[in-house]
A and B are shown apart, each in its own frame.
Chain A
């Protein structure tokens, strides 16, 4: 070990550090309140969007929230747990088809279809994750890729149930028996999606911040060490996989109700890939970053896409390449730079320096 060659270089920190008092709890609480301010502002603005935005942009925003929720569920897996899945869209697809079937054969009344979709996504993850989570590295990539492809193939083949390549049409969202009033359908749909999004996002945020979430990060960073601390990484990864599958199913259910058409493409590799792109773009592991990443993807693909004569993917590719060079840690990386110099001080390589500063 190279560091052992300098046994005496680290005297000052150990003798000096004991004298430095820990930051008082009141300041951390104040920081917590300040930290809650941006999300609160964003939430208020989002809640009033239908009042000042036209129908088309509102529609796009609805789609951003739906796919953003899916991106967050993938972030739980990729960014927090360190399991880069190539087939996460499988659970989105399972959720979408479940919501479609429930709405068709049982009740289109919210929130039953999306709840069933979440349950179906979780069950699908329970069945497939058992195998996938046991593998590591390239094998995990290949297994999840296979799971995704098998799912979209199944959606294609089982045309008695799924409508095959024609897809399935889904009744529009409603509460109770009456459909939304046609004049306000877009706004009501948006609010419905926003409420589900906020609840699901808050749930994932809590999971990521809980001791369980800390354990997941530990497994991501150093699985061997977690084992020696008495954690069984498989159990944690499996639970994370199932949770991510459930939230992906929820997003899929929302998608079915918003899009009103579900087809095998929605469980396919393209969605998994583009969502991974959104994670890189937004900053994996932050949960909110991927939502912004997904916003860029959806805006380029769905909003400007028609004007670009099918060159949307090309633009996305260019955005991606630029982002990797300019924003190595995604949009979340920008927020990291804006934070107080305190963080950078902690990163100082020479420990003595920061106390002098």
Chain B
């Protein structure tokens, strides 16, 4: 086994006759900024679920940090440092913004996790405040999540995911529904993350992808089409073919054409 933080070999998931993810081999080294792209239905979100463990694999193995985690439950994998944001915001709507992040921040690896004394929570609270400031929600910490706008909820998702102190952070369309200003802020935040956090990002907004990623994997119909640097992927004819018919081949071209269609990736993936 090589030295990748995340090693997928022959990972397959089928739903009846449909094979959503088909024999994917992937190695993500420590500190990578890896993007996963592909047309709708390519199996990106399913692949994420197989990595986090919220869905069992049909066959194949998932290895994290050198050990096989295929049989581990989702919470056990999360405790090892796999964190995620979901494509559809999944937050605690009846709680305040601060408590949403606290929920993740209070569960530290090792250490005493639960104390009845509020005083002990100060460290966790400080951390929550730092994170909320980073994502730009510091002024909203006492607002209920149900009162947040869609863009704010996406920002909060990121804060919650970071509060887990992940070693591997899976971002499923973090910029979906964000305004250009918000997604620029998100890119800045993600770029500023230390190398100890490895990023795997699924994103339709290719501006975000190419701004962040150092390597890109293209999925098509559940199969791995290509892995390479952003430039290689941009140049690949196979990739352009996969996108043909969805009207997105223009995204790979430099120039003004990409501006017109820079947001059609908004439909449900």
Contacts and interface: CB of A to CB of B under 8 A. Distances in A.
B160 A14 contact: no
Contact of A351 (B73, B107, B118, B147): B147
Nearest to B149: A10
Given A214-B106, A230-B164, A9 B149 contact: yes
Contact of A1 (B88, B91, B103, B141): B88
A136 interface: no
Interface stretch (A19-27, A50-58, A113-121, A268-276): A19-27
A221 B92 contact: yes
Interface string B91-132: 111110001001110110000011110100100100001000
B148 A351 contact: yes
B133 to A, nearest CB: 8
Interface stretch (A61-69, A148-156, A204-212, A259-267): A204-212
Contact of A228 (B84, B94, B136, B155): B84
Interface stretch (A34-42, A87-95, A342-350): A342-350
Interface in B220-258: none
A132 B96 CA distance: 30
Interface stretch (B35-43, B176-184, B194-202): B176-184
Nearest to A236: B114
A212 B147 CA distance: 25
B150 A231 contact: no
Given A17-B136, A218-B92, A209 B141 contact: no
Contacts of B136: 14, 17-18
B144 interface: yes
A316 interface: no
Interface string B192-219: 0000000000000000000000000000
A138 interface: no
Contacts of A20: 138-140
Nearest to A239: B114
- Determine the interface band of chain B, counting residues with CB < 8 A from chain A: 35 or more
B125 to A, nearest CB: 10
Contacts of A214: 99, 102-103, 106
Nearest to A231: B75
Interface string A125-165: 00000000000000000000000000000000000000000
A222 B92 contact: yes
A207 B149 contact: no
A240 to B, nearest CB: 12
A16 B137 CA distance: 10
Contact of A4 (B76, B106, B113, B176): B176
Interface residues of A, number: 48
A211 to B, nearest CB: 4
Contacts, number: 161
B79 A14 contact: no
A283 to B, nearest CB: 13
Contacts of B164: 229-230
A8 interface: yes
A227 interface: yes
A22 B139 contact: yes
B151 interface: yes
Given A4-B266, A211-B114, A11 B91 contact: no
Interface string B62-105: 00000000000111101100011010101111110001001110
A1 B88 CA distance: 7
B33 to A, nearest CB: 22
Contacts of B140: 13, 17, 20, 351
A304 to B, nearest CB: 36
Contacts of B129: 22
B205 to A, nearest CB: 10
A347 B144 contact: yes
Interface of B: 52, 54, 73-76, 78-79, 83-84, 86, 88, 90-95, 99, 102-104, 106-107, 113-116, 118, 121, 124, 129, 133, 136-144, 146-152, 155, 160, 164, 176-182, 185, 263, 266-268
Given A221-B94, A347-B147, 7 more contacts: A1-B176, A4-B266, A17-B137, A210-B118, A211-B106, A228-B83, A233-B75
22 contacts: A1-B177, A4-B176, A7-B179, A19-B139, A22-B138, A22-B139, A22-B141, A207-B116, A210-B118, A211-B113, A215-B103, A217-B94, A221-B94, A222-B90, A222-B92, A228-B54, A228-B78, A228-B90, A230-B107, A347-B147, A348-B147, A351-B140
Interface of A: 1, 3-11, 13-23, 206-207, 209-212, 214-215, 217-218, 221-222, 224-233, 346-349, 351
